[in-house]
Structure 1
């Protein structure tokens, strides 16, 4: 039996932000079993963590398979550990298993601050397929080693996009498609689409900000920004540019505690 939690990450209240499944384990189970648990949970990510020395090994699985970096499920895992396991700690270290990133989460009152690598995007070209898929024409297209980023000149355009997810799946590049624009109330707004791994829209995508923070910092000169993910559930992300690292902060709310009966017949 595995102890299982569901936490709404980047949420001021329950039913906001991005729900993540969290399994804190004594030892690793098979990748096949983690994949099946993620499919059964049917959340955008389920995180699995095992204590290894002074840090935690960490893996994330979507219903479509393992992913190399995930912000909201890291925040959710840290929330569970701070609240139920490492109750006297205010800093946690994670070593990721798919790609060897070292991640740090610091508890600051009710905020959880994550220290992640900066991912600087590069300019990319716009295609007719992209315009057809998104239903609007971006002013700029960027690309990281994993994802595509589309810059729009209107916050309302980002909020009102109704993409054709079957066409996004046809993009030859980009595991995900991020859209973003300058905001009046916040420093910028964004949305994240992941149909290639069976997640049409991620309610709040932490890793997206690893690439959006350096982009918007170059545009507005601000090292500290407040972003809003304008998905249906919505979520607020407090952002800080620190050179080769970025800091992402948010709140979390506990939704569920239970047991996964993986070994029962």
Structure 2
């Protein structure tokens, strides 16, 4: 196999070693799925993105260390940052990615990169006691479900920050991941959250863009706002600017390249 250019990018942050790291691999031609999965396992990050030219657009796929996923925000942001930073695509127009979730676009907006993603609104549901117990919670203020995840709203940001889930029990739950969220006690942000996805090989995702496709319409409805600021309160931490636009969510964030190199096999 020819050498494959790759980068590790910290997304949804303006400084290295924070936000959410993703590997980005630039492909000149199609490669086998099992090779991409093996590379993602080798990288051992929450997501590895594989991007290649595909007509006037770009094909984009995302893999955790164990599975391919349908939607990933931080690795899409990382990919746009890597391609623009290395002059692999035009600096003058938005990027269009063909993905499992349809065509996703990215554009520059000042210092931010803005992603145009589908909204993933939650529907209210009876609280799953297995999930609550695995989180160490006896109750929650609201429980909901999206196409991918379960949503748990709690009364205090301190609860969100102090969670220490039982990942083995969460791994057995029939959901991609669990979003836990509360209103923020920091005036710079409207709400905070954490995201746990052991079922797809990621115990805690440091900053999850696709989770905010649920969080933005939820908190937008609660607060009566279409523009929000969010903070994901993982150990690394990261911030997002969110805009709710009908059935779309615009995710804004920065990114920093940490290393670059080549895959040799």
Q: TM-score, normalised by structure 2?
A: 0.95
Give secondary structure in 2 for the equivalent of 1:233. coil
Q: Which of 225, 244, 248 lines up with 2:247 in the alignment?
A: 244
Higher mean C-alpha displacement, 141-150 vs 125-134: 125-134
Counterpart CA distance in 1 for 2:175 and 2:101 is 21
Worse overlay, 190-199 or 69-78 = 190-199
**2: distance between equivalents of 1:201 and 1:215?**
21
Task: Name the counterpart of 2:178.
Answer: 177
Query: Does the 8 A contact of 2:71 with 2:101 survive in 1?
Result: no
Distance 2:29 2:252 in 1: 29
Q: CA deviation at 1:87?
A: 4.8
- Greater displacement, 15-24 / 84-93: 84-93
Superposition map of 1:53-202 within 5 A? 53-84=55-86, 85-96=88-99, 99-136=100-137, 137-171=139-173, 173-185=174-186, 186-202=189-205
Count how many residue pairs are aligned between Structure 1 and Structure 2: 259
Q: Where do residues 188-227 of structure 1 align in structure 2 (5 Å cutoff)?
A: 188-227=191-230
List structure 1 segments (4+ residues) > 4 angstroms apart after TM superposition.
none
Residue 6 of structure 1 contacts residue 256 of structure 1 at CA under 8 Å; is this kept in 2?
Answer: yes
Equivalent of residue 254 in structure 1, options 254, 257, 263: 257
Residue 229 (1) aligns with residue 232 (2): yes
User: Is the 8 Å Cα contact of residues 67 and 201 (structure 2) preserved in structure 1?
Assistant: no
Indicate the residue corresponding to 1:46 in structure 2. 48
Q: Is the 8 A contact 1:90 1:108 kept in 2?
A: no
- Structure 1 portions without partners, runs of 5+: none
TM-score with structure 1 length normalisation?
Answer: 0.95
Whole-angstrom CA distance in 2 between matches of 1:127 and 1:60: 29
State whether structure 2 residue 13 is matched by structure 1 residue 11.
yes
Task: Give unpaired runs (5+ residues) of structure 2.
Answer: none
C-alpha distance in structure 1 between counterparts of 2:213 and 2:13, whole Å: 19
Native 8 Å contact 1:228 1:234 kept in 2: yes
